[in-house]
């Protein structure tokens, strides 16, 4: 029973750091779920006096980091350490849960190339990993597996001697490089790369490559575009793919990078991509006291 109560606590805290909850916050500056959860677990979080939501989120996130490292904790470290610390948001883009073939890539960072980051937490199984990597190779020349430091040896054995890189997460030092990824272009697949694009994006790709788009009925348009793309060298398609994915720019990169935006919710902000009004609603929420 005690273990179940502990699990309920961490699951409830983890649910705070989700896009549906923050969608409400961005829209209204409020969240009944967050307020009720914090009120219920106030003593567990160690708050006895009035405190801002910003401090509450910081403490809640720290509890997750040290005790219940769910997928969001890993993704948020990738957002902070591998995107925001290394890249300019005018030039780099982060995509969350992008469908690639039959798999969904946890995070893709678009900069000089596209790099897939596949997260395997202590709560995950490696069951689908080989199929996921097989799909990602058709889309991206660089792949990293991100896992807890206690699982590094396990995943080194599973990956074997291949080009997939490995990053480890620890409570003390954050993300650490275990093995550098090696770029692999030979397995890129034009159909898989095209399937990651929206209609306007692959239309632009076709226009740039051929100077025009197929003049066919809408129902036949995708197949006609795919037939043209299949004629191109995959390395060329990859370069054109990057150009289109980079157009998925952030609305307010300065506000995402601002110190006013807590590190604990950077990934949510990058995923939701708020406008100025939505950011102001967020800041109003962070300044609420309870």
Over the stretch 186-231, which tens digit does the pLDDT of each residue have? 999 999 999 999 999 999 999 999 999 999 999 999 999 999 999 9
- Give the CATH number, domain containing residue 103: 3.40.1350.60
Q: Is residue 286 part of a domain?
A: no
**What is 214-276 written as a DSSP string?**
--S-HHHHHHHHHHHHTTS-HHHHHHHHHHHHTTS--TTHHHHHSTTS-GGGHHHHHHH---H
How far apart (Å, rounded) are the C-alpha atoms in residues 4 and 151?
24
- Average per-residue pLDDT for the chain: 92
Q: Are residues 163 and 217 in the same domain?
A: no
Q: Is residue 108 part of a domain?
A: yes
Q: Are residues 106 and 43 in the same domain?
A: no
Q: Is residue 62 part of a domain?
A: yes
State the total domains in the chain.
Answer: 3
pLDDT tens readout for residues 40-85: 888 888 877 888 999 999 999 999 998 899 999 999 999 999 999 8
Q: Are residues 23 and 60 in the same domain?
A: yes
Q: pTM of the predicted model, to two decimals?
A: 0.93
Q: Are residues 147 and 236 in the same domain?
A: no
State the residue range of the domain holding 52: 1-68
pLDDT tens readout for residues 99-109: 999 999 999 99
Q: Are residues 82 and 3 in the same domain?
A: no
Last residue of a domain, one of 19, 50, 68: 68
Q: Are residues 90 and 60 in the same domain?
A: no
Q: Are residues 156 and 225 in the same domain?
A: no
Q: Which of 16-25, 36-45, 237-246 has the lowest mean pLDDT?
A: 36-45
Over residues 22-41, the mean pLDDT reads 94
Q: Is residue 267 part of a domain?
A: no
Q: Are residues 110 and 156 in the same domain?
A: yes
């Amino acid at each position: 029973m005690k273990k179940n109560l502990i699990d309920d606590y961490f699951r409830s805290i983890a649910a705070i750091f989700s896009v549906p909850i923050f969608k409400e916050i961005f829209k209204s500056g409020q969240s009944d779920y967050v307020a009720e959860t914090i009120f219920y677990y106030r003593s567990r979080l160690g708050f006895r006096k009035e405190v801002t939501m910003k401090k509450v989120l910081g403490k809640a996130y720290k509890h997750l980091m040290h005790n219940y490292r769910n997928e969001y904790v890993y993704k948020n470290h990738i957002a902070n350490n591998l995107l925001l610390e290394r890249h300019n948001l005018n030039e780099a883009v982060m995509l969350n849960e992008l469908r690639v073939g039959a798999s969904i890539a946890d995070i893709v960072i678009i900069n000089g190339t596209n790099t897939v980051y596949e997260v395997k937490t202590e709560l995950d199984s490696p069951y689908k990993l080989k199929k996921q990597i097989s799909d990602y190779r058709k889309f991206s020349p660089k792949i990293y597996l991100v896992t807890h430091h206690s699982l590094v040896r396990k995943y080194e054995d599973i990956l074997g001697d291949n080009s997939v890189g490995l990053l480890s997460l620890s409570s003390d030092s954050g993300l650490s490089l275990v093995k550098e990824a090696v770029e692999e272009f030979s397995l890129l697949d034009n159909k898989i790369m095209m399937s990651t694009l929206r209609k306007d994006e692959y239309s632009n790709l076709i226009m740039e490559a051929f100077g025009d788009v197929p003049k066919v009925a809408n129902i036949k348009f995708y197949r006609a575009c795919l037939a043209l793309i299949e004629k191109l060298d995959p390395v060329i398609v990859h370069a054109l793919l990057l150009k289109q994915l980079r157009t998925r720019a952030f609305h307010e990169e300065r506000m995402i990078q601002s110190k006013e935006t807590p590190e604990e919710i950077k990934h949510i902000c990058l995923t939701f991509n708020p406008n100025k009004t939505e950011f102001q609603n967020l800041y109003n929420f962070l300044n609420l006291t309870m």
